[in-house]
Chains A and B, each alone.
Chain A
Amino acid sequence: MKLENLPGSSIPLLALICRFALATIFFYAGIEKIINPGDFAVAIYNYQLLPDCAINLSAIFLPWLEVLIAVSLVAGIYTRGAALISALLFLTFATALTINLVRGLDISCGCFGAASGNINWFYPARDLSLFCMSVFVLIYDRGWRYFFV
């Protein structure tokens, strides 16, 4: 195995850095939520966007999806699929946050487990930046093979 294409075009390297950044965020967020699903279900309920029947399922499913996205992004397996879900998730989060900020609800973000801070306009802005990073990875990521042979 040897290093290839370094130094070369900075775009695939930037995509790799974005992959790692997204993976770190998703892994941390996922693990925090897996620890206490009951509290996360309440955080989801507080957004007042989902019917009761979908709340627990989301609280169980979403953290594992985040962990799996993190693993995919780091391992370079199904990276584009992970980046696509990541982009859609961040878009959904930003929309949910914006709706509740407009509604004037003062609720916990729930972004990194139930102990996260209360929502403000920084949160949707952050999610939109992460959405852009995910789209960047989706388009420009070249996988590990670009760097190693």
Chain B
Amino acid sequence: MTQNNFSQKLYPAFRESIIILAVALFIAVVFNSFRSNNIPLFGFSSAALIKEQQAKIPSITLSEAHDLYLKNKVIFIDARDPFSFEEGHIAGAINIYPDEVLLHAASLKTKADQGFLFVTYCDGPQCPLSKETAHALILRGIPTVKVLVNGWSIWLKSGYPVSKGKK
């Protein structure tokens, strides 16, 4: 097929595609405005959606988490910053900030396949980091995640094993 012949087909195709796009947009907007389960054209809120998704992540109680810790069936993920982690963390925990999940995803997936439960924690009842890390883990195909709310404080207060330093 010559270049000229191809161009001859492509120009009408552009014209036709613009007409199809315009008609589709018109039908879509009109149909959406009349249907019962319509959605606002520009009203999507990712912040609200993330909050909703994070609220669905199950939490775990301190005693349940400790039981699993003793049975060696849990991996704690400390979602706080590295400095807080070095000052003290649950013994055996890994430090994964929400943004760093991708770096650890492959190794964590292997652990998840071996039957480990992941428990994320940070410090303070309103601390968002544990939920953010848990959410990022779920997004990367690791569904066995629970949140220990106010985890660091309650673990420390109970006198359960802790470590200092980078590991």
Of B9-17, B62-70, B159-167, the one with at least 4 CB within 8 A of chain A: B9-17
**Bound: A138/B13 CA distance, A:** 8
Closest CB of chain B to A136's CB: distance in Å?
Answer: 12
B37 adjacent to A65 (CB under 8 Å): no
Q: Is A121 an interface residue (CB 8 A)?
A: no
Of A75-83, A91-99, A109-117, A124-132, the one with at least 4 CB within 8 A of chain B: A75-83
B9: chain A residues within 8 A (beta carbon):
80, 138-139
Q: Is B20 an interface residue (CB 8 A)?
A: yes
- Interface size grouping (class) on chain A: 35 or more
Overall SS of chain B's interface:
helix
The winner among B16, B25, B45, B105 for most chain A CB atoms within 10 A is B16
A85 adjacent to B39 (CB under 8 Å): no
Within 8 A of A (CB), among B53-76: none
- Interface size grouping (class) on chain B: 35 or more
Given contacts A60-B29, A61-B25, A106-B140, could you give 15 more A-B pairs where the C-beta distance is less than 8 Å?
A34-B31, A52-B45, A56-B42, A60-B39, A64-B25, A65-B25, A65-B28, A67-B24, A68-B23, A80-B12, A81-B12, A82-B17, A84-B10, A103-B102, A118-B141
Which positions in A face B, CB cutoff 8 Å?
A: 34, 36-38, 41-42, 45-46, 52-53, 55-57, 59-61, 63-65, 67-69, 72, 78-85, 103-107, 118, 138-139
